[in-house]
A and B are shown apart, each in its own frame.
Chain A
Amino acid sequence: MDRLTLKNVSAYYRQLIVNKEVYVRAVDDVSLSVKKGEVLGLVGESGCGKTTLSKVMMMNINPPLEFIKGEVQLTRRDGEVIRLHKMSRRLLKNFVWGKNISIVPQEAMSALMPTLKIKRIAYDLVRSHDPNAKLEDVVERLEKRLEELGLPDYIADRYPFELSGGMAQRTVIAVATLLNPEVLIVDEPTSALDVLTQRIVLKTLADLMVKNIVDSMVFITHDIAIVRQIASRIAVMYAGKIVESAPTEDIIFNPLHPYTKGLIESITSLEPEVRKRGVKYIPGQPPQLINPPQGCRFADRCSFVMEKCKKEEPPLIKIGEGREVACWLYVKR
């Protein structure tokens, strides 16, 4: 069952160049669904639009970002479908964000108000949905949640700056999931941490799924080696589009799209497989999103490029169980 569904969404940034206004097509005609019980890894390199896509999932659209078209739907646990793209910002804030869908931003520390204690931050969050909430109840709930995630309960009485990086990150995760949202989006939750802490944060995120605190999770990252530890499915994004999505093992061991292949082969991890194949790279760089090329956006860097690739954009087609790829190599004539 789908929890979050995006249908043909486009979101562009409005940018001023000298004296002309142009659109940067950060998210261009993307369709994606996140199922119940699934951790979706959204993988892509800087500037591919993955963070913008996370904003679209929340419908947290602020200028210069503009929502151009498409549908964003969220299915609640009680079966009711909410159409986020039809709702006003005020409605989203009071009824959806934090309650049905929540986000853990890139820099956890800056998400926490430095002058408030953690319990106070949690209280404010709950109160924005339930004005009659009592502080004692919220604190009790928060301490329970902290315990569930293996954090000491005294954190509730601390100020954000008293926490270390990894601790702060996990605290933000605990606060963001206080109301048991259906969907949790985490944006590069580990990139600022050292490897030892990284592992603990990943464990905390896995706990959220195991303990049914959230139904589905979207894990946004540039690091495949990290996301593969937790994701059940991986979607690869390139230049504003999803180029491939498949179950994790398929992406790692049998990538189909030439970009995914290149990406997997450029990873240096501490494994004999990697030492054997050496460090590879994809030549060139992603296209400008102000004026993206007409055909496939990867055509310039692709070693399998054909005539057709430069003229027509490949559709995202279904290949086998749960696999989708947007590449002319796999379109049967």
Chain B
Amino acid sequence: MRILLETKSLTKVFETGFFKRIVVKAVDDVSIILSEGEIVSLVGQSGSGKTTLAKMILRLLEPTSGDIFFQGRNVWKDLKTLEDFKWYWKNVHAVFQNPYASFNPFYKIDRVLHQALMLIGIDPDSPEGDRVIREALEVVGLRPDETLGKYPHQLSGGQLQRILISRAWIIKPKLLLADEPVSMLDVSTRGKILELFDILRKNLGTTIVFITHDLGLAYAISDRILVMYKGKIVEEGSPDKVILNPEHEYTKELLKSVPTLYKKWS
């Protein structure tokens, strides 16, 4: 498989405090490789730095040191103009955790899809734009006539999250970062969203990075799991290797604490 994105010794340090400088290494010397068409889970508890890492890859937060290479270009050093950024975001996009916060409540949900069309250079008001939007909504199992023209508060979290996936379908990025895309959703509707990510990968060959705190979820859907702890990647490998034969102490401890459905703890 070909390498799509690579991070080299990526580090992000946050400094706070006025009199006494408190230094927090949110991401500490992380080097990972993402290949084309794979589903990778980045697992870690809150504060492990997984979201910070995602923001740096998405070019939303500048790293303190280290580099990110996407198709041979240094994301933070080679890209300069808004056009460069647009090129990057056309190739690397995201779905976030909170579907309600992903929509500006003052606008109809059509807006996020229009933004996607503008990014790929289609006029949202053209018949072509309308066709693309309707097609994308149908892919995620929403009826366009019942969805378009609505405000975010009129739809459920699951529906909103599906609209965001249809946005990704329009943009067709090479890499999609999904930051806890189902953690705010009800258990009974999560499966549908997970299925959609799989459809995206199958049909478009999208690489998907699934950021989650839920080991069970990661185990169920991914080709590869990365475990993050205190800003470092501590464990890496196939789901079976990570879940059944963990090497790092933290992973072992984590696995012991994940509640099981069919077996009761002693």
Is there a contact between chains A and B in the complex with CB atoms less than 8 Å apart? yes
* Interface residue? B195 (CB, 8 A): yes
Q: Which of B219-266 contact A (CB under 8 A)?
A: 219-221, 243, 253-255, 257-265
In the assembly, what is the distance between CA of A225 and CA of B192, in Å?
20
Q: Across the interface, do A264 and B261 meet the contact criterion of CB distance under 8 Å?
A: yes
Distance (whole angstroms) from the CB of B156 to the closest CB of chain A = 5
* Interface residue? B214 (CB, 8 A): yes
Distance (whole angstroms) from the CB of A253 to the closest CB of chain B = 8
* Interface residue? B45 (CB, 8 A): yes
* Interface residue? A59 (CB, 8 A): no
* Interface residue? B55 (CB, 8 A): no
Which residue of B156, B189, B258 contacts A281 across the interface (Cβ within 8 Å)? Answer: B189
Q: Across the interface, do A269 and B188 meet the contact criterion of CB distance under 8 Å?
A: no
Which residue of B45, B191, B259 contacts A223 across the interface (Cβ within 8 Å)? Answer: B259
Chain A: interface residue total (CB-CB under 8 A)? 36
Q: Across the interface, do A196 and B220 meet the contact criterion of CB distance under 8 Å?
A: no
Q: Across the interface, do B189 and A225 meet the contact criterion of CB distance under 8 Å?
A: no
In the assembly, what is the distance between CA of A266 and CA of B189, in Å?
8
In the assembly, what is the distance between CA of A45 and CA of B156, in Å?
13
Contact partners of A283 in chain B: CB under 8 A: 192
Q: Which of B171-226 contact A (CB under 8 A)?
A: 186-192, 194-195, 213-217, 219-221
Contact partners of B255 in chain A: CB under 8 A: 270
Q: Across the interface, do B259 and A269 meet the contact criterion of CB distance under 8 Å?
A: yes
* Interface residue? B161 (CB, 8 A): no
In the assembly, what is the distance between CA of A196 and CA of B191, in Å?
25
Contact partners of B258 in chain A: CB under 8 A: 195, 269-270
Q: Contacts A268-B217, A270-B216, A279-B221: A285 and B159 contacting too (C-beta < 8 A)?
A: yes
* Interface residue? A252 (CB, 8 A): yes
Q: Across the interface, do A224 and B186 meet the contact criterion of CB distance under 8 Å?
A: no
Which residue of B186, B217, B254, B260 contacts A271 across the interface (Cβ within 8 Å)? Answer: B260
Contact partners of B254 in chain A: CB under 8 A: 195-196
* Interface residue? A273 (CB, 8 A): yes
Q: Across the interface, do A194 and B219 meet the contact criterion of CB distance under 8 Å?
A: no
Q: Contacts A194-B45, A281-B188, A285-B156: A225 and B260 contacting too (C-beta < 8 A)?
A: yes
Contact partners of B156 in chain A: CB under 8 A: 285
Q: Across the interface, do B257 and A196 meet the contact criterion of CB distance under 8 Å?
A: yes
* Interface residue? A151 (CB, 8 A): no
Q: Across the interface, do A270 and B260 meet the contact criterion of CB distance under 8 Å?
A: yes
Sort chain B's interface into a size bin.
35 or more
1/0 per position for A259-272, CB-CB distance to B under 8 A?
10011101111110
Q: Across the interface, do B261 and A279 meet the contact criterion of CB distance under 8 Å?
A: no
Q: Across the interface, do B260 and A269 meet the contact criterion of CB distance under 8 Å?
A: yes
Contact partners of B192 in chain A: CB under 8 A: 281, 283
Contact partners of A282 in chain B: CB under 8 A: 188-189
* Interface residue? B158 (CB, 8 A): yes
In the assembly, what is the distance between CA of A104 and CA of B259, in Å?
21
Nearest-neighbor residue (CB-CB) of B48 within chain A: A194
Among the interface residues B45, B213, B254, B260, which one has the most CB atoms of the partner chain A within 10 A? Answer: B260
Q: Across the interface, do A199 and B257 meet the contact criterion of CB distance under 8 Å?
A: yes
Contact partners of A263 in chain B: CB under 8 A: 187-188
Which residue of A194, A252, A262, A275 contacts B188 across the interface (Cβ within 8 Å)? Answer: A262
Q: Across the interface, do B264 and A229 meet the contact criterion of CB distance under 8 Å?
A: yes
Q: Across the interface, do B261 and A224 meet the contact criterion of CB distance under 8 Å?
A: yes
* Interface residue? B71 (CB, 8 A): no
Q: Across the interface, do A45 and B188 meet the contact criterion of CB distance under 8 Å?
A: yes
Q: Contacts A196-B257, A281-B188: A275 and B220 contacting too (C-beta < 8 A)?
A: yes
* Interface residue? B102 (CB, 8 A): no
* Interface residue? A302 (CB, 8 A): no
Q: Which of A26-61 contact B (CB under 8 A)?
A: 45-46
Distance (whole angstroms) from the CB of B246 to the closest CB of chain A = 11
Contact partners of B217 in chain A: CB under 8 A: 268
Q: Across the interface, do A274 and B216 meet the contact criterion of CB distance under 8 Å?
A: yes
9 of the cross-chain contacts (CB-CB < 8 Å) are A45-B187, A253-B262, A266-B188, A266-B189, A269-B258, A271-B260, A274-B261, A275-B219, A281-B192
Chain B interface residues toward A at CB < 8 A? 45-46, 156-159, 186-192, 194-195, 213-217, 219-221, 243, 253-255, 257-265
Chain A interface residues toward B at CB < 8 A? 45-46, 194-196, 198-199, 222-226, 228-229, 252-253, 259, 262-264, 266-271, 273-275, 278-283, 285
